[in-house]
Amino acid sequence: MLCDIFKQKKFIITAELFPPKGTDITDLMRRADLIGQLVDGINVTDNQRASMRLGSIAVCRLLKERGYRPIMQMTCRDRNRLALQSDLLSAFVLGIDDILMLSGDHPRAGEYTELSGVYDLDPVQLIAAARGLESGVDLAGKKLKGAPKFCIGAVVNPTSTPQELQILMLQKKIAAGAQFFQTQTIFDVEQYKRFHEKINHFPAKVLPGVTLLKSPAFVAFMQALPGVTIPPAFVDRIKNAADPLAEGIEICAETIRELKTFTAGVHIMAIGMEQYIPEILAKV
């Protein structure tokens, strides 16, 4: 379990992979093989951006068979409590015990904009439901024949305002049973450090998210996302670089080096550019 790794290592590195939109897993496995031995866990997203893709549970099993540590993302958007609990049991039986629980992007973000999200449980309730399964009882109060055991993670956004609300939600998730957190992407280390100082005493590991800035167009895309703050110096470096991707790799490595001085680890979101994660980590 990832929770066991937290007890052994001072700095944890996780990364993220998107399942394909289809059944061809050739490129997915190629990217997994590039990073699998370099990171402590690989997140597998769950229909990210509300776009239908190969299921997280299937990809996690494939990664497990390859000797990597998968972290199965599970959103509240697409399933009711019946399906969520069933998938948790199924994941455990398949050897998947690291689960990241989150709300999920709204259906409006994807290609099925007319859909209504399920959201039968919110992330706090889902975390509590998983802990209930561990105790041998489901949400209906029925006893299980064999109980799972999970390392449960959740998400937090350190750049969201009001920040106090994010901290309150973090506390509720910890109280429900969350053991680690991954954050939305951050670029301003000083801004994150102020958030870190407010939550560092909580009994859960928090891994700030970092993203590779690969081009001026990608910088503009990230700046348009709510809550994302990119320091002007980084924007200028990418804009004026002879090789924006190489500059982005250097910026990502610099950010991780700074975060390494005071955080429990990082979560790398390369967004389809996972082949550059080894170079980033080599610079770190």
pTM value is 0.96
Q: Reply yes or no on whether the pLDDT at 226 is more than 90.
A: no
Domain with residue 257: its CATH number is 3.20.20.220
pLDDT of residue 258: 98
pLDDT of residue 218: 96
Give the torsion through C-alpha atoms of 58, 73, 277, 283, to 10 deg.
-140
- Dihedral pair phi/psi, residue 144, rounded to 5°: -95, 150
- pLDDT average, residue stretch 251-279: 97
CA of residue 272 relative to chain centroid, distance: 15
pLDDT of residue 161: 86
The residue segments making up the domain with residue 131 are 2-283
The number of distinct structural domains making up the chain is 1
pLDDT of residue 20: 97
User: What percentage of the chain reaches a pLDDT higher than 90?
Assistant: 93
Which residue type is seen at 207? Answer: L
pLDDT in tens, 155-200: 999 998 899 999 999 999 999 999 999 999 999 999 999 999 999 9
pLDDT of residue 11: 95
- pLDDT average, residue stretch 78-94: 98
Asked if 156 and 181 touch (Cβ cutoff 8 Å), the reply is yes
pLDDT of residue 48: 93
Cα distances (Å, whole numbers) of residue 243 to 137, 253, 269, 281: 56, 16, 20, 19
